[in-house]
Amino acid sequence: MYARVTTMHVQPNKVDEAVRMIEETVLPAAKQQHGFNHLSLLADSVEGKVLILSLWETEEDVLASERVGYFEEQIAKFGPILAGLPVRELYEVRR
């Protein structure tokens, strides 16, 4: 299993909006992607920081979601409330 961790900095007063967007649009879209398994969300309202942890069956599934434009399409939804560029990292889940 593989995990993509996406870190977004949003305007501090927009954390609730970001969380709502993830729950209402990103998660349903993720469920349509081949190999998607789970999504967890962490938020720091004071710092305006949101972490999205998505789990995928294989590394190829994660990379395929990026090749077909899924990742960029989802991030674009946050453009008006972002306070910086999102950072994505890929990890192998060991446990």
Of 50, 47, 52, the residue nearest 62 (C-alpha): 52
Q: Indicate the pLDDT class of residue 66, thresholds 50, 70 and 90.
A: confident
Please name the residues in contact with 34: beta carbons below 8 A apart, sequence gap of 6 or more: 61, 64, 65
CA–CA gap between residue 82 and residue 10 (Å, rounded) = 4
Going edge to edge, which strands form the sheet with 36-44?
36-44, 49-56, 2-9, 87-92
Task: Give per-residue pLDDT as tens, 16-49.
Answer: 999 999 999 999 999 999 999 999 999 999 999 9
| CATH number reported for the structural domain that contains residue 50 in this entry | 3.30.70.100
Over range 69-85, report the average pLDDT: 91
**Which domain does 17 fall in, by range?**
2-92
Domain count, the chain: 1
